[in-house]
Amino acid sequence: MDVTIAQGAFRGAPIDGTSEGRTFKGIPYASAPIGDLRWAEPRPPQQHDGTADATRYGPTVSTPPQRSQVLDELIPDPSRPGENGLNLNIWSPDISASAPVFVWIHGGGFATGAGSTSAFDGSAFARDGVVAVTINYRLAAEGFLHLPGAPGNRGLLDMVAALEWVRDNIAAFGGDPDRVTIAGESAGAMAVCTLLAVPRARGLFHRAIVQSGSAHHVHPLERAELVAPELAAELGVEATVAGFSAVPVEELHAATNTVIGRLTSGQDPRFAEFRRLAFQPVIDGDVLPEHPIDAIAAGAGAGVDLLIGTNADEYGLFVGPTGMADKLTEEMLVETTRRLVDDPADLVDMYRAERPGATPAELFVALQSDWFCVAPADRLLGVLRAAGRPVHSFQFAWNPPTYEGMLGACHTLEIPFVFDTLRDPWGRALRGADAPQSLADEMHAAWVAFVRDGDPGWPEYGDRRRVRRLDVSSTTVEDPLALTRQIWDGRPL
């Protein structure tokens, strides 16, 4: 069945397991970011004659390869050639209906990833009465390099353009533009929180889901301004639009990964503040006027229903599969912690006191998980709680048997449960072949309920700090992050 909008007509395909469901893939929401548009704000998509085939995924955006071969094998990013990676995919239960809309923003450290990752298939959402949309956006240098002569935060502007496209066109695909939920994991969740503070995004979404991200991962302008000169020096060009435009894409990507390593390794005191991500949104005074956590505390995003949570063992992803568990010594643990705080030995001792007998690797997972994901999420929940704003919270706690149980409820593990795509091979080596479908049924239903009604099925966070712990036998617990809050109170995040 075809759908026609001002941009042109698109032919989709049936969704298996549904009677009226249709999927439309690879629809451009902006013009191709090539030539003069490579470093520019996104422009409206070009119109086309005839009926465009929307039965297959479109191109992915140009990105550096994942920097970890292990993770690239476990949770691979798709790569599809083509000029216009600024496209989106739709799964609709019925194009004649007016269903709530779920827009997924992928993670990948603002440097890798794609909306067409197989685990993000939205068929189950369509099956359950929700229009699902997944998007691509510009990444790494093209998306987030703060560059003189180019608009800042181009990746964020791509997200805004995609949401504007949804507002203007989703009704033709069976979606209700007045019931839009944005959601994301990792960098996607950071983007969701940041969009709450982006004036141009105001009114484009009505609910938001934050998985393993927070409102803390942005660069102040003075830090962001260090990146372009360093990347230009690596390439031997001027730090200008013209200079970077003259570099072949593959060469830019190779230099980008080199510079990411240099900025985040902790070896060069010039880059001491780059503790994890080299590319991320920038507080530029324009697209992002102020720090998201401050904007939210001042009322940004008021009226947006929120569902916020983390995984119990986020950093297990970077320890269990990589072999770090066997290599991490006590001395290495203290040195890696030194990059986060001024009193690393004291902080390690605090974690050890609560985990007697834990190995250095286990303490590393607990400490780094709290610093990167859990404590920032707790501070965001605290800001919302202090303002009396309604919010629901969760903790994904299922521990798979893989890697001798060392993986824990790690980063990215919850995604196929949310999408009800456990049968997909993406991430299967992490979760194992017998991941509990009952937990996927529960989580997917909760996300659908939140998208539809703003209530996932458990009490709000509120004064009692209630959190739904999602496991084979899920329970609602009170203030599970009290110890994390106590340890990180007053410490930088």
pLDDT band at 323 (very low <50, low <70, confident <90, very high): confident
Residue 278 structure tokens: 């080299």
Check whether 419 has a pLDDT greater than 90.
yes
Mean pLDDT of the chain: 97
What is the average per-residue pLDDT within 439-466? 98
Q: Is 60 left (phi over 0), alpha (psi -120 to 50) or beta?
A: beta
**pLDDT for the residue 358:** 96
Name the H helices within 238-391: 241-245, 249-264, 292-297, 324-327, 330-338, 344-354, 360-369, 375-386
**pLDDT for the residue 336:** 94
For the CA atoms of 444, 209, 211, 433, the dihedral, rounded to the nearest 10 degrees, stands at 10
Q: How far apart are CA 196 and CA 208, in angstroms?
A: 9
Q: Is 388 left (phi over 0), alpha (psi -120 to 50) or beta?
A: left
Contact 52, 9 (CB under 8 A): yes
Round the CA-based radius of gyration of the chain to a whole number and report it.
22
Domains 2-221+279-303 and 310-488 share a fold: yes
What is the average per-residue pLDDT within 156-184? 98
Direct distance between the N- and C-terminal alpha carbons of the chain, in angstroms, rounded to an integer: 50
Residue 241 structure tokens: 């639009």
The torsion angles phi and psi of 103, rounded to 5 degrees, stand at -110, 120
Residue 303's identity, in one-letter code, is G
Helix (H, G, I), strand (E, B) or coil at 182: strand
CATH number of 310-488: 3.40.50.1820
Check whether 65 has a pLDDT greater than 90.
no
Q: How far apart are CA 415 and CA 350, in angstroms?
A: 31
Domain ranges of the chain: 2-221+279-303, 310-488
Q: Is 490 left (phi over 0), alpha (psi -120 to 50) or beta?
A: left
Check whether 66 has a pLDDT greater than 90.
no
| Residues above pLDDT 70, as percent of the chain | 100
**What CATH fold (topology level) applies to the domain 2-221+279-303?**
Rossmann fold (3.40.50)
Residue 42's identity, in one-letter code, is P
pLDDT in tens, 98-117: 999 999 999 999 999 999 99
pLDDT in tens, 216-273: 999 999 999 999 999 999 999 999 999 999 999 999 999 999 999 999 998 899 999 9
Residue 413 structure tokens: 């593990």
Cite the active site residues. Answer: 186, 314, 411
Positive or negative, the CA dihedral 288, 290, 291, 297 is negative
**pLDDT for the residue 402:** 96
**pLDDT for the residue 1:** 78
Residue 150 structure tokens: 């180019």
Check whether 326 has a pLDDT greater than 90.
no
- Among the residue ranges 62-71, 177-186, 346-355, the one predicted with the least confidence is 62-71
Contact 408, 313 (CB under 8 A): yes
Nearest to 452 by CA among 132, 26, 29: 132
Q: How far apart are CA 366 and CA 161, in angstroms?
A: 38
pLDDT band at 352 (very low <50, low <70, confident <90, very high): very high
pLDDT in tens, 10-49: 999 999 989 999 999 999 999 999 999 999 999 999 999 9
